[in-house]
Amino acid sequence: MITGASAGIGQATARWFWERGWNLVLWARRIDRLEELKRHLEQDHQAGRTGTDAGTGAWIAIAEVDVRDRASVESAYGLLPEAWKPVQLLLNNAGLSQGLNAVHESDPEDVDRVLDTNIKGLINVTRVVVPDMKKAGRGQVLHVSSTAGKETYPGGGVYCASKFGVEAIAKSMRQELLPFGVKVGTVSPGMVDTEFSLVRFKGDAERARSVYDGLEPLHAEDVAEVIGFMATRPDHVQIADVLVMPRAQAGSGMVHRTPTQSSGL
């Protein structure tokens, strides 16, 4: 089960698992994008996938879900057939940032959207999915955090607070679920070439592109591969956290840019 599956890391991760024979439950706000992704994946399925074939009966379930909406989350999970529960892996990927303002200059609506999505939305999904894992004594929860969950930077106070919160939630969950066989981890990417900056700057494509000027950021597929590795370790292995950055980055506020490089955006 992947939240925020319509683009970026969520979409790339869906492709990674589908190519390896996993069934998928994909949630996002943009149902048109999920429908397109489902169609493309199923076409690939018919053409033959890595480690599987068109006769495996694999399936993809999609739903229009805004993780901020508790009723929407509960309804979507409730519509899943009981035979599909518990899910083997929950990837809490839905998240965003808004603006690059000092905390005292933050737009209250931006603050609400970031915290409601990154923290409350993650909790909304977790609280409906994890009880079935706990009851069955198996499963894994991975949260997509960020380098911003490790260190702060000017203009990122609210977003950093949300990702520090994700780190705290993951650590608490790992302790809470220890007796029940459920693994919990986080993957913390640095700069990734997705829609993240476009969303942060509210559609300002030029400003979003400038974030990656002079360096090659991570690509969504790079992070998907890390998530796939974490999710496919032997049952006794729990990877608590992976911090992954592009070679040109050494922290949330430290990058090396060269005038000859281009992000390709």
Alpha carbons 67 and 197: distance in angstroms, whole number: 20
Q: Phi-psi category of 223—alpha, beta or left, where left has phi over 0 and alpha has psi -120 to 50?
A: alpha
**Has 171 been annotated as catalytic?**
no
Q: Can you name the residues that pair with 28 across neighbouring β-strands?
A: 64
Burial of residue 100, with CB atoms counted within 10 A of its CB: 0-12 exposed, 13-18 middle, 19 or more buried: middle
Which of 38, 77, 163, 183 is an active site residue? 163
CB 48 within 8 A of CB 21: no
Alpha carbons 162 and 88: distance in angstroms, whole number: 26
Instruction: Name the nearest CA neighbour of 256 among 216, 219, 218.
Output: 216
Spatial strand order of the sheet with 24-28 comes to: 60-64, 24-28, 2-3, 89-92, 140-144, 183-189, 241-244
Which of 159, 171, 183, 202 is an active site residue? 159
**Has 163 been annotated as catalytic?**
yes
Alpha carbons 119 and 251: distance in angstroms, whole number: 23
Catalytic residues: 159, 163
